[in-house]
Amino acid sequence: MISELPRDMAEEVLSKLPMTSLRGVRFTCKKWNTISKDRSFTKKYRGEAAKRKEFQVVMMLDYKVYLMSVNPVDPSPSIEPIGKLVSLDDAAHDGVKILEIFHCHGLLLCVTKEYRLVVWNPFNGQTRWIKPRDFYSRYDRYAFGYEKKTKFSRRSHKVLRFVNSYYRRVNRQVLEFEIFSLNSNSWKLVVVNPDWHIQYFHGGLSIKGNTYWFAEEKLAPQETTERRFLLGFNFTTESFGPLLPLPFCGPYGDKMSLSSVREEQIAVLLQKSDAPACTLNIWISSKVGPSGVSWNKLFLAVEMNPFTNFQFVNYSSSFFVDVKKKMVVFIDMNLGTRNMAYIIGENGYFKTVDLEGLAKVDGWPTVCSYVPSSVRINQAAPPGKQKNTPP
């Protein structure tokens, strides 16, 4: 029988399968279920995935999360679903509507349409629902990362929940920061007195366990021009770093977005709103940490006016970079109506791919790079042993 194959041969066969097919494999027999969740198999699976010509990314469309195959080059550029990612712990989770996703180290933090939180490993099917300290709301924003105190210590995943809204008319800022630890199953308040604010439409990006945003200095009464920076949160020290320089300066109205390169570098996008019209620039960091950043020379510069007659990159748009081919793929809305992908490269290379389906006002299309991980999600303590750290 095929289930009686030697382990090394079984790993070779299973590593060729699409990730979305592993669910059926795990239900085939106990031996294959064990192999597919082993760390050595995960490493082999990642190696096989890296040999493929196309990218594999996680994409959120129409409140659902998909694994997508992306081939950005001619003769037929394509972005096609390999399959819809569903939880293997509870089939009912397949009907959950997802509003936001945050990727860190092979795990996804998902915010549902009911503003609930769930941590999910699509590779091994584990999920972990997180109860709020008091309640969740539509105004909450999140970051996902991990603490790692030494090179050999295990990662301790954490969630940062916060509201950081600055109201200029009344010169008042609403602040609340709290952290949930998946290890201790507890929430605790974090005292932060920032001299910056983060616009609600700028989501966080996780790199090496820390999270980064675009941030702006608070304006003094006599100031009118906002200066923009990169801001990092260190999940090990549970603190924000200093405001870090960006590789550009731009007026309000320019569109900006963040992405990761191999989960080690930050790619920053700027699409200008003034002359030259709709110029799109991308830079990639050489080094990055919560306390410092340095930037390489401009990675890609494209004048978009010959291709589109509108500034297509939405504030909430996301993108990923193919460094070797010097291309970038954006996921956005076509004039606010349909989910679209835009593939842009050097020498006038520009292609569009209709991702099918109407855009959702409260569910912006999102894409993130994804590397399968065998990391196990710490589950909640038994009832009676759970705790919340008091204020």
What does the alpha-carbon distance between residue 84 and residue 67 come to, in Å, rounded to a whole number?
A: 6
Question: Is residue 82 over pLDDT 60?
Answer: yes
d(CA 189, CA 247): 33
- Taking the C-alpha atoms of residue 147 and residue 234, their distance in angstroms, rounded to an integer, is 8
Tell me: the pLDDT tens digits for 91-118? 444 578 888 899 998 899 999 888 999 9
**pLDDT of res. 57:** 82
Nearest to 158 by CA among 200, 210, 205: 210
Length in residues, the chain? 391
Cβ–Cβ < 8 Å for 37, 45: no
Q: What confidence score (pLDDT) does residue 266 get?
A: 94
Contacts of 300 (CB under 8 A, 6+ apart): 280, 281, 282, 326, 328, 344, 345, 346
CATH code, residues 53-369: 2.120.10
- Phi and psi of 5, rounded to 5°? -60, 145
- Regarding predicted confidence, which is higher, 131 or 13? 131
Residues of the chain with CATH 2.120.10: 53-369
pLDDT tens-digit map of 16-68: 565 556 656 665 677 666 666 666 666 666 565 555 555 678 888 888 888 88
Contact 211, 205 (CB under 8 A): yes
pLDDT at 282: 93
